[in-house]
Amino acid sequence: MHVPDGFINAPVSAAAAVVAAGAVAVSLRGARRELDERTAPLAGLVAAFIFAVQMLNFPVAAGTSGHLLGGALAAILVGPYTGVLCVSVVLLMQGILFADGGLTALGVNISVMGVVTVVVAYAVFRGLLKVLPRTRGSVTAAAFAGALLSVPGAAAAFTALYAIGGTTDVAIGKVFTAMVGVHVLIGIGEAFITAATVGAVIAVRPDLVHGARGLTAPLKLRVGGELIDAPAASPAAAPAGARSTRPVWITGLVAALVLAGFVSFYASASPDGLEKVAADQGIDAKVEEHAAADSPLADYSVKDVDDARLSGGLAGVIGVGATVVVGTGVFWAVRRRRAEAAAPAAGAPASR
């Protein structure tokens, strides 16, 4: 659902950029509460994994494909604020390096694919967890539902923006029906990918899943005939191997590299939901050439490499590497700001 330049007029694109910038600013502050020394590098990995899986377009209807948006997955794994940042990093890398998603439309894409998907998915996810049993299966089921609804939610948000600032005169009702209809099908694929990934991480390291925090009920001790919560175990008391995130990080990075560098060659070549609707409804009449169309990595291929499989694979590997480096750098910086902010408070003298 990467919106290219020329779909939305300049005033509405500028307004969306202001909204996106505000959302990113709020998320930078909120992410300080979500990230710690373990989850900061994992957040960079989540961004890279989303980049890789977005290269895997899957067929959803005759002549139409879809791909992961990733807002739901990021929000549940690393938190909603950090999730917005993850998707924003992915969209920035795609726009600058691969000419995927317009640069003047970057604010539109962050607002639609980042903010809307995270807000819808996490609201549904948290709402369901309040009524479902406190089990790992409930987290996976809630992740499925949140991801499923986030995609048509993003499609509806795009249609609303197009109704305000679209560059062609089309019947908005038909655009809405077509966009939401095809993205419900894409949402099913998103839901399966999200649930499978969340379920896999929960199975090995539930402590690393933001949405699963507090899943386990506290241990109870009977003291004087009454049940009380047992003291929380000290992190230092846990085995060193159990605390390490290195195995998860390495496994996730290898999976992302394999998906982007090899499996992506077998992705569907059909236009995605937005491209198909745009062609059918005529909303792409004024689409503009991407400013980075001459990038050596444009269209997810390496310039001057003739072998299609090798060219696409190298582009995917480069994209994963760039995304994990930039994403990890951003999240470590956010984590460091949290530590610096906490240091003066820890050293402040007690008030009398």
Q: What are the DSSP calls for 97-153, one per residue?
A: HH--S-STTHHHHIIIIIIIHHHHHHHHHHHHHHHS-SSHHHHHHHHHHHHHHHHHH
Rg (CA), the chain: 21
**CB under 8 Å to 135, separation ≥6 — which residues?**
215
pTM, whole model, 2 decimals?
0.89
Mean pLDDT of 194-221: 83
Average pLDDT, the chain: 90
Q: What is the pLDDT of residue 171?
A: 94
State residue 344's pLDDT score: 61
* 177 has pLDDT over 80: yes
- Band the pLDDT of 347: cuts 50, 70, 90: low
Are 35 and 86 in contact by the 8 Å Cβ rule? The answer is: no
Cα–Cα distance, 139 to 137 (Å, whole number): 5
pLDDT in tens, 12-48: 999 999 999 999 999 999 999 999 888 888 999 999 9
- Interatomic CA distance for residues 326 and 291, integer angstroms: 21
Locate all alpha helices (DSSP H) within 205-223, ordered by sequence.
none
Please give the domain boundaries of the chain with CATH numbers for all domains: 10-212+244-346 (1.10.1760.20)
Tens-digit pLDDT profile for residues 44-77: 999 999 999 999 999 998 899 999 999 999 999 9
